[in-house]
Amino acid sequence: MSTPTSTRPAPAATGELSTGAAIRLVAGREISTRVRTKAFLWTTALFVAAVVLGGLLLDLVGGNDDATKVGFTPEASAAATAFEATATGMGVTVETTDVADAAAGEQALRDGDVALVVTSVDPTFDVQVETAVGETMQPVLTAFAQQLALASAVTDLGGDPADVSEQIASAAPQVVALEPEPERDGGQIVGGFIAGILLFISLMTAGQLVAQGVVEEKSSRVVELLLASVRPAQLMAGKVLGIGVVGLLQVVLVVGAGAGTATALGLLDSSSLDLGSTAVWALIWFVVGFAMYALVLGALGALVSRQEDVGSVIGPVMTLMIVPYVLGISVLPWDPTNELATWLSFVPFCSPMLMPIRIALGAAETWEVLLALGLSLALIPVLVWLAGRIYSGAVLHSGGRMKVREALRRG
Amino acid sequence: MSELTIDSLSKAYGQVQALRDMSFEVRAGEIFGFVGSNGAGKSTTMRIVLGVLAADAGEVRWNGTPLDLHVRRRIGYMPEERGLYPRMRVGEQLVYLARLHGMSKSAAVEAMEHWTRVLGIEARRGDEVLKLSLGNQQRVQLAAALVHSPDILVLDEPFSGLDPVAVDVMSQVLRDQAAAGVPVMFSSHQLELVERLCDRVGIVRSGSMVAIGGIDELRSTPERRWVVEGPTPDGWLARVPAARLVSSEPVAGTGTVYRSVVEVTDAGLAEVDQELLGAAVAAGPVREFARVRPSLVELYRHVVASDDSSATTDRTPAEVTA
């Protein structure tokens, strides 16, 4: 220690600090200290990696949906459109390309650019492959051969083959199912799962961070120093805001990574999942759900003074969170119109986890989503008031666990 | 003249009356020592001043105006229970606290650099608080109280846990602050330190101020006593009728030198003091002649221990105006 030379450095503080500035300062500290923690970096990286890898895995498993490339020599190219139509009719996607001649076709086969080359359709249907015809293409080739034979027979009989094939194509049985099985869309189910899991985990972790953050300030006693310069409500608002921004950042990264992977790999080309609205609603529900849970958990956290007591005081809320989550991901994907889940998706504290799943599954009408959102938003001012009172009444109390009623009385 | 006034504060925790009619003031440029046994109400008073605790009755004023958050942001506070973010770096933490007191970013950084340098912790700016020794954490805590250039300093036991060098630096900082016109109020159990440092002292017991004033005023007692080290009083004290012997004992190893305490029985007679000295010198060599004043420790013991049963009775503080 050196001997103090001057007592006051240049400009003194003014003591002026608006509520907005106080909240921004507190939130800024939360953000800057939390995004640098190993816990944040690792969970974010793991989350993003899980979503991207999951997408890649899904792509590999469903990889046989990829278009089979079929080359046509100039002699056969007239039949390319008809071939593609036949394949599509049988549920097989093909992509037709022109090759200059048989030799070029051979080269393309050896290079793996195409899976098979059609060199002739009349008088014979000639196809070249590198080793063997793939499992999916075999019936397509057979059907097309039969079609060619039929067309040739129709021509011989003086009919118009195009006319006949059109009639054949439009012929379909009228099936009446007594108990129709609901149509399931893989993309929607996966989207629903991810939305449910993501919302649950991120709300739970962010909510716990708020409770732990409140107790951290109590157990380290720094709260007394802070409350000598900011009001309890400002401190709590800043903390909730800061942790919320960090949590939202994490959710945005994960949702972005998921949506980006799905789009890049074309995973959702055959799905009716509305990726854009599912992603945006997931973010909105995170914000709303976080606000509610953070207020409740922050207020509860203020009741205790030691980190080891946090678990017991927020435990009941955590347990209640599990109910809509489990219901959401175990029932809704298989039964999107489940009555209990549908009703609960309007109940505040449950909607942030159930609504995103219903939205991903395409099972929620817009008015339903807006109604659920309105109900949750209406409750937030009440929670702000209640949490503010409990927090103010309890945050400077040290020692054992404080009762909610006692905190409300003091607040 | 700026003045922090604590006016008739009362506070009860359930059945326990922590403060009863606590009143005193701390003036600009003054170091005020706040002493009393544990639980006497020192910390409670300070916490009420800072607004982290609400009083049941009474108020705190700064220049005659009740304290609001705006003024409280201009107080430098060191809570009894030390508190800093353990996992936040020293520099960032001080800048953050300075800004919470309304400082701009650049001024906060400048103030952080200044105080970490003055308190000898500039090398630890980049370290998390929990990695510092307790003594250094204490210095950071003081820096946190000073970083916003406060108008008022309220420090709860700032000297506890400090090594002697740190005590000197802390004392110097408090003197400098007072010299700059800041009212400094601190509590301590180290009474010699309080005696050395403070302009005025307040002794609290059971939530009320029982003695307050300048050190010298508190120490001056109505009766006048002198210590005389020299010839045995048997030979000379009889010549001074207005004095009586309190105690006398031979100084070990000398044989003929006695250390005697005599009291002037008629305090109104100023010349008695000179008569005493003259009589002693006439009887033999006098090695020491000094006025006996109780130390703050003795005073404190007397005031605090004299009447422990008075916890429930209302006493008027022995106010001494400075």
Least confident of A129-143, A176-190, A315-329, B78-92: A176-190
C-alpha to C-alpha distance for A101 and A123, rounded to whole angstroms: 18
Question: What is the pLDDT, as a whole number, of residue B100?
Answer: 92
For residues B258-274, average pLDDT = 80
The mean pLDDT of A112-125, rounded to a whole number, is: 85
Nearest to A14 among B84, B102, B176 (CB): B102
> What domain range includes position B252?
224-291
User: Has the ipTM of the complex gone over 0.85?
Assistant: no
Beta carbons of A13 and B70 less than 8 Å apart = no
Choose from B13, B44, B67, B99 for mutation: most chain A CBs within 10 A: B99
Report the range out of A264-268, A334-338, A392-396, B29-33 with the highest average pLDDT.
Answer: B29-33
Is residue A143 situated within a structural domain? yes
Q: What is the mean pLDDT of residues A149-156?
A: 84
Quick one: B130 and B30 in the same domain? yes
If one counts the domains in chain A, the total is: 2
DSSP label at B308? G
pLDDT of residue B153: 93
Contact present, B75 and B152 (Cβ < 8 Å): yes
In SS3 terms, B183-204 reads as CEEEECCCHHHHHHHCCEEEEE
Residue range(s) defining the domain that contains residue A121: 67-157
Sheet strands side by side (includes B152-156) = B75-78, B152-156, B184-187, B31-36, B200-205, B208-214, B318-319
CA distance A392 to B203: 32
The verdict on A383 and A262 lying in the same domain is: yes
Q: Which two tokens stand for residue A32?
A: 């800057």
Rounded distance, CA A225 to CA B155, Å?
Answer: 12
Q: What is the token pair recorded at B39?
A: 């639980």
**Is A245 a member of any domain?**
yes
The whole-number pLDDT of residue A3 equals 47
Q: Are A275 and A259 in contact (CB under 8 A)?
A: yes
Distance from CA of B118 to the nearest CA of A (A): 5
Give the sign of the dihedral formed by CA A32, CA A37, CA A40, CA A42. positive
Q: How many C-beta neighbours within 10 Å does residue A45 have?
A: 11
Do B118 and B249 lie in a common domain?
no
Mean pLDDT across A216-235? 89
State whether B101 and A15 contact (CB < 8 Å): yes
- B305 or B27, which is more confident: B27
Domain boundary among B167, B188, B213: B213
Confidence of residue A406 (pLDDT cuts 50, 70, 90): confident
Q: Is B304 within a domain?
A: no
Q: What is the mean pLDDT of residues A178-197?
A: 79
Query: Does A12 have pLDDT greater than 80?
Result: no
In DSSP terms, which residues pair with A97 in a beta bridge?
Answer: A71
pLDDT tens for each residue of B192-235: 889 889 999 999 988 889 888 888 777 776 677 888 888 888 87
Structural domain count of chain B: 2
Q: How confident is the model at residue B290 (pLDDT cuts 50, 70, 90)?
A: confident
User: Hey, is B237 helix, strand or coil?
Assistant: helix
Task: Quote the crossing angle between the two packed helices B90-100 and B134-146, to the nearest 10°.
Answer: 30
- List all residues 6 or more positions away from A338 whose beta carbon is below 8 Å from its beta carbon: A331, A332
pLDDT above 70 (res B144):
yes
Q: How many degrees, rounded to 5, is the angle at CA A295 between CA A290 and CA A203?
A: 25
Q: Verify that B209 and B76 share a domain, yes or no.
A: yes
By mean pLDDT, which of A129-143, B8-22, B266-280 is the weakest?
A: B266-280
With cut-offs at 50, 70 and 90, classify the pLDDT of residue A10: very low
Amino acid A16: pLDDT: 76
- Rounded to whole angstroms, the Cα distance separating A99 from A107 reads 10
Count how many Cα atoms sit within 13 Å of the Cα of residue A391 in the half-sphere of its side chain.
30
Which CATH number belongs to the domain containing residue A79 in this structure?
3.40.190.10
**How near does any CA of chain A get to the CA of B89, in Å?**
10
